[in-house]
């Protein structure tokens, strides 16, 4: 199940919102043009023949080694300043999605979601993604040795009694 096709498209059917994907120019200001991986536009007036004009409601960036820093710094700040309502940063390996919501021109952290979660959008109440299905179609990756914290001795002795 791809994030775009099977997971997101049904959430916007019957609404004025359109899910669009790269390559597509997004003009945020006279000097700022970017190409997000996925975006949701709910105002048809924003759709121009050659680009999208102004902040979409939702922007999703798929992070990679070559784009991660750019997506987390420059694009995040541009999206916040221009009024993008919600921003998702998707990390394919290890699979997780960080969700941020715009509050007065700054992004506030909503949460980080893994394949163990159902992601519910802060901006689109009808949007709920079972991430186990979304991440199931990713190509196999080498395992990651995840760090976990042990229960401290003093706490273990309190819960044992």
Tens of pLDDT, residue by residue over 48-84, are 999 999 999 999 999 999 999 999 999 999 999 999 9
pLDDT digits (tens, 9 = 90+) for 81-131: 999 999 999 998 899 999 999 999 999 999 999 999 999 999 999 899 999
What pLDDT is stored for residue 71 in this prediction? Answer: 96
What pLDDT is stored for residue 1 in this prediction? Answer: 37
Tell me the C-alpha distance between 24 and 53, whole Å: 11
E strand or H helix at 129, and its extent? strand 128-130
Is 79 strand, coil or helix? helix
Q: What architecture is domain 3-160? A: Alpha-Beta Complex (3.90)
Q: Which token pair is 94?
A: 């290890």
pLDDT band at residue 35 using 50, 70 and 90 as cut-offs: very high
HSE (side-chain half, CA atoms, 13 Å) at 31: 1
Q: How does DSSP classify residue 72? A: I
Tell me the C-alpha distance between 36 and 57, whole Å: 13
pLDDT at 3 over 90: no
Beta-ladder partners of 53: 27
pLDDT at 30 over 50: yes
What pLDDT is stored for residue 37 in this prediction? Answer: 94
Q: Is 89 exposed, middle or buried, given 0-12, 13-18 or 19+ CB atoms closer than 10 A?
A: buried
Strand order in the sheet with 58-62: 18-21, 38-41, 58-62, 86-91, 96-103, 106-114
Pairwise pLDDT comparison (151 vs 47), residue with the higher score: 47
Query: Are the C-beta atoms of 52 and 39 separated by less than 8 Å?
Result: yes
Tell me the C-alpha distance between 128 and 8, whole Å: 9
């Amino acid at each position: 199940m791809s994030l775009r096709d099977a997971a997101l498209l049904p959430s916007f059917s019957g609404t004025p919102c359109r899910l669009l994907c790269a390559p597509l120019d997004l003009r945020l200001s006279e000097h700022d043009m970017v190409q997000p991986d996925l975006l949701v536009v709910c105002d048809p007036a924003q759709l121009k023949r050659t680009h999208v004009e102004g902040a979409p409601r939702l922007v999703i960036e798929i992070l990679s080694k070559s784009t991660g820093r750019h997506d987390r710094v420059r694009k995040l700040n541009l999206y916040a300043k221009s009024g993008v309502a919600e921003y998702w940063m998707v990390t394919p390996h290890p699979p997780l999605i960080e969700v941020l919501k715009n509050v007065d021109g700054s992004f506030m952290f909503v949460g980080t979601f893994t394949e163990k979660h159902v992601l519910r959008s802060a901006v689109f109440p009808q949007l709920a993604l079972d991430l186990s299905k979304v991440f199931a179609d990713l190509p196999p990756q080498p395992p990651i040795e995840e760090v976990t914290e042990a229960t401290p001795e003093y706490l273990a002795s309190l819960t044992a009694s």
